[in-house]
Structure 1
Amino acid sequence: MNQTGGVKTDRLDAIRSHLYANGFSTIQDLADAVGASLATVRRDLQVLEQDGAIDRVHGGARIAEGSSVELAFQEREKRHLSAKRSIANAAYEKLLPRTAIFLDAGTTVLQLARLIRINPMPLRIFTNGLIVAQEFLNIPHLEVVLLGGHLRSENASLVGPQAEAMLETIWFDQLFLGASAISPDGAIYSVDSAEASLNRRMLARSANGYVLADSSKFGTMATYKVAPLNAAKLITDKGLAPQWRAELANFGVDTTYAELGAKE
Structure 2
Amino acid sequence: MTQTGGVKPERLDAIRSHLYANGFSTIQALADSIGASLATVRRDLQILEQQGAIDRVHGGARIAEGSSVELAFQEREKRNLSAKRAIATAAYELLAPRTAIFLDAGTTVLQLARLIRINPMPLRIFTNGITVAQEFLNIPNLEVVLLGGQLRSENASIVGPQAEAMLETIWFDQLFLGASAISPDGAIYSVDSAEASLNRCMLTRSAHRFVLADSSKFGTMATYKVAPLNMARVITDAGLSQEWRRQLGDFGVETNIAEAGA
When residues 29 and 215 of structure 1 are mapped into structure 2, their CA distance, relative to the original with a 3 A threshold, is: closer
Aligned residue type for 2:162? Q
Instruction: Number of aligned residue pairs: give it.
Output: 251
Q: CA deviation at 1:220?
A: 1.1
Q: Provide Cα deviations, 1:180-234, integer angstroms capped at 9, x if missing partner.
A: 1111111111111111111111111111010001111111111111111110111
Q: CA deviation at 1:40?
A: 2.6
**Are 1:27 and 2:59 an aligned pair?**
no
Quote the residue 2:185 is aligned against. Answer: 185
Quote the residue 2:47 is aligned against. Answer: 47
Say if 1:67 and 1:221, in contact at 8 Å, map to a contact too: no
Aligned residue type for 1:70? E
Quote the residue 2:260 is aligned against. Answer: 260
Q: CA deviation at 1:41?
A: 3.3
Q: Secondary structure at the match of 1:85?
A: helix
Q: Secondary structure at the match of 2:249?
A: helix
Quote the residue 2:164 is aligned against. Answer: 164
Gaps of 5+ in 1: 1-5
**Are 1:221 and 2:221 an aligned pair?**
yes
Identity over aligned pairs, percent:
78
Q: What is the rounded CA distance, in whole Å, between the counterparts of 1:77 and 1:98 in structure 2? A: 29
Gaps of 5+ in 2: 1-5
When residues 86 and 67 of structure 1 are mapped into structure 2, their CA distance, relative to the original with a 3 A threshold, is: farther
Q: How does 1:6-17 map to 2 (within 5 A)?
A: 8-13=8-13, 15-16=15-16
Q: What is the rounded CA distance, in whole Å, between the counterparts of 2:15 and 2:71 in structure 1? A: 14
When residues 133 and 219 of structure 1 are mapped into structure 2, their CA distance, relative to the original with a 3 A threshold, is: same
Quote the residue 2:243 is aligned against. Answer: 243
Say if 2:55 and 2:65, in contact at 8 Å, map to a contact too: no
- Structure 1 runs (4+) deviating above 6 angstroms are 17-24, 54-58
When residues 198 and 45 of structure 1 are mapped into structure 2, their CA distance, relative to the original with a 3 A threshold, is: same
Q: CA deviation at 1:66?
A: 9.0
Q: CA deviation at 1:70?
A: 2.5
Q: What is the rounded CA distance, in whole Å, between the counterparts of 1:20 and 1:209 in structure 2? A: 27
Q: How does 1:1-264 map to 2 (within 5 A)?
A: 8-13=8-13, 15-16=15-16, 25=29, 27=31, 30-31=34-35, 38-48=38-48, 51-52=52-53, 64=63, 69-261=69-261
RMSD: 3.0
Q: What is the rounded CA distance, in whole Å, between the counterparts of 1:126 and 1:158 in structure 2? A: 12
Say if 1:160 and 1:198, in contact at 8 Å, map to a contact too: yes
Q: Secondary structure at the match of 2:8?
A: helix
TM-score with structure 2 length normalisation?
0.85
Q: What is the rounded CA distance, in whole Å, between the counterparts of 1:229 and 1:22 in structure 2? A: 22
Aligned residue type for 2:120? P
Aligned residue type for 2:250? N
Aligned residue type for 1:27? A
